[in-house]
Amino acid sequence: MYQTLRTLLSNARCWDADSERSYQDLFERLDTNKDGKVDVAELREGLKAMGIFRQGAAQKIVSSGDQNKDGCLDFNEFTKYLKEHEKKLWLTFKSLDKNDDGRIDSSEIQQSLAELGIDVSGEDALKILQSMDIDGTMMVDWNEWREHFLLCPAHNLEEIIRYWKHSSVLDIGDSIAIPDEFTEEEKSTGGWWKQLVAGAVAGAVSRTGTAPLDRVKVFMQVHSSKANQISLLGGFKQMIVEGGVTSLWRGNGINVLKIAPETAIKFMAYEQYKRLLSSEGAKIETHQRFLAGSLAGATAQTAIYPMEVLKTRLTLRKTGQYAGMFDCAKKILRKEGVKAFYKGYVPNLLGILPYAGIDLAVYETLKNTWLAHYATDSANPGVLVLLGCGTISSTCGQLASYPLALVRTRMQAQASLEPSNQPSMSSLMKKIVAKDGVFGLYRGILPNFMKVIPAVSISYVVYEYMKSGLGISK
């Protein structure tokens, strides 16, 4: 089918009569049931046959071109959509063609991405070029560019390079990753807040679904030791015996509640830090983006940290200890003072850098490995590869920062456990290692890892439904 598309368009030029005939032939091939219309299913199958299928592409094309809202495209709608799409592709092609010679080479791709603040190596730019280069000249002319993107809904440079955008779908309960990027178009049209809302709802459902695993993780972090071994099943049993099945969701309410302020603060702070760190606000280097993301994460954590302390206390509470989150906050304030709401703040802050750094480094390594070995016809890795890379990189980041997370949790809980003796971060870490060995710093990591795959899966499914409901496609 891709060879068919190439044949149909090889002699066509932008917006002329040949294009009209090419569109007619293409339309007839896509219209498999010969009813004079192309619906989403037919277009999806056609895109798959061409090898350029992308999640949600068929639906987006039909939605964009469907003027009479009957859920499919007739020939006039199909032609009008392709003509408008070609114009946008032409403008994008011209913006990439820096020397105006009618062809794009790898250095022009690299330069254009750099202007958007995305640093790619010469090798990666070459791989992107090769995915579009039909005649093997190591350059892409207008016909090759059009053939590659004609039936792809992406039409501007920001959308085209979004193939490898780090997904904001992944919510595994610890929101210390670097925030996602939004294009100027998304910011001006309001698409950014829809994506944030979709991500927040996905995170809320995901956290609720995996709350029992999260509670047993916290339970093991605080109560388990060499002298008091608590297994995964033993932890669940103790919690159910003490408070019933519903007790497995203790602390989930505030864990969900803190998503909205944390996401909003992190996004706004990230934008401000990017402006401060870049010289003119237009271009930002990779290391500046990493620093801006880390600072944004630290800012958000500082603002909502009292909620983190409340979450830990509510998660560990016994039946009848607190009437709710407000009662818990009042009791902590009365007995321990304002300082109690920032216990464990230092290890929490220190955990942001190793998590974010390793998460990004592993993600980039996995991405480049995929490009090197599997990117033959397209630079688009597909949903499963993106989710796989994101899951593995996030897990590696958690593994590196887990000891700090454990120390943070113990410090948050220690006032209720050891009112007379509350050690500092370093002394607590030494105490754990001396008593339980290095593995003592990884208590509760099994349920933590067990919740990653279901959390990511739930997040992705809910996120896709939310995107559809809010009328956005990414």
Distance CA 292, CA 404 (A): 22
Q: What percent of the chain has pLDDT over 90?
A: 20
* pTM exceeding the 0.75 threshold for the entire prediction: no
| pLDDT at residue 329 is higher than 90 | yes
Domain count, the chain: 2
| pLDDT at residue 249 is higher than 90 | yes
- Do 149 and 250 sit in the same domain of this protein? no
The predicted model gives 168-174 an average pLDDT of 47
The predicted model gives 440-452 an average pLDDT of 90
- Do 136 and 261 sit in the same domain of this protein? no
Q: Specify burial of residue 3 (Cβ count, 10 A radius: 0-12, 13-18, 19+).
A: exposed
- Do 301 and 242 sit in the same domain of this protein? yes
Domain boundary among 133, 167, 201: 167
DSSP string, 310-359: HHHHHHHPPTTS-SSHHHHHHHHHHHH-GGGGGTTHHHHHHTHHHHHHHH
Please indicate, yes or no, if residue 401 is contained in any of the structural domains. Answer: yes
- Do 71 and 156 sit in the same domain of this protein? yes
What tokens appear for 83 in the block?
């003509």
| pLDDT at residue 163 is higher than 70 | no
Residue 463: CATH number of its domain: 1.50.40.10
- Do 129 and 191 sit in the same domain of this protein? no
Q: What is the pLDDT of residue 473?
A: 55
CB 89 within 8 A of CB 78: no
Please indicate, yes or no, if residue 270 is contained in any of the structural domains. Answer: yes
Please indicate, yes or no, if residue 174 is contained in any of the structural domains. Answer: no
Q: What is the pLDDT of residue 17?
A: 41
The predicted model gives 116-139 an average pLDDT of 74
Q: Which residue has the higher pLDDT, 300 or 464?
A: 300
Please indicate, yes or no, if residue 281 is contained in any of the structural domains. Answer: yes
- Do 352 and 264 sit in the same domain of this protein? yes
Q: What percent of the chain has pLDDT over 70?
A: 78
Domain boundary among 135, 167, 199: 167
Q: What is the pLDDT of residue 161?
A: 57
- Do 358 and 277 sit in the same domain of this protein? yes
Q: What is the pLDDT of residue 433?
A: 92
pLDDT in tens, 11-68: 333 434 455 567 788 888 888 888 888 888 888 887 777 665 555 677 778 888 888 8
Rounded (10°) angle between helices 352-374 and 122-130: 40
Range from 3-12, 116-125, 282-291 carrying the lowest mean pLDDT: 3-12
pLDDT in tens, 366-421: 877 776 677 555 556 667 777 788 788 888 888 888 999 999 999 988 765 555 56
Q: What is the pLDDT of residue 127?
A: 76
pLDDT in tens, 100-124: 888 888 888 877 777 665 666 777 7
Q: Which residue has the higher pLDDT, 283 or 466?
A: 466
Q: What is the pLDDT of residue 160?
A: 61
Please indicate, yes or no, if residue 49 is contained in any of the structural domains. Answer: yes
Residue 95: CATH number of its domain: 1.10.238.10
Q: What is the pLDDT of residue 215?
A: 94
| pLDDT at residue 214 is higher than 90 | yes
Distance CA 323, CA 327 (A): 6
- Do 137 and 215 sit in the same domain of this protein? no
Domain boundary among 100, 135, 167: 167
- Do 34 and 124 sit in the same domain of this protein? yes
Distance CA 174, CA 397 (A): 11
The predicted model gives 164-177 an average pLDDT of 47
Q: What is the pLDDT of residue 287?
A: 72
Q: What is the pLDDT of residue 181?
A: 58
Please indicate, yes or no, if residue 173 is contained in any of the structural domains. Answer: no
Average pLDDT, the chain: 78
Please indicate, yes or no, if residue 176 is contained in any of the structural domains. Answer: no
User: Phi and psi of 72, rounded to 5°?
Assistant: -150, 175
Which residue range forms the structural domain that includes residue 261? 184-470
Distance CA 274, CA 282 (A): 9
- Do 442 and 397 sit in the same domain of this protein? yes
- Do 205 and 90 sit in the same domain of this protein? no
CB 151 within 8 A of CB 61: yes
- Do 416 and 373 sit in the same domain of this protein? yes
Please indicate, yes or no, if residue 376 is contained in any of the structural domains. Answer: yes
How would residue 1 be classed by pLDDT, with cut points 50, 70 and 90? very low
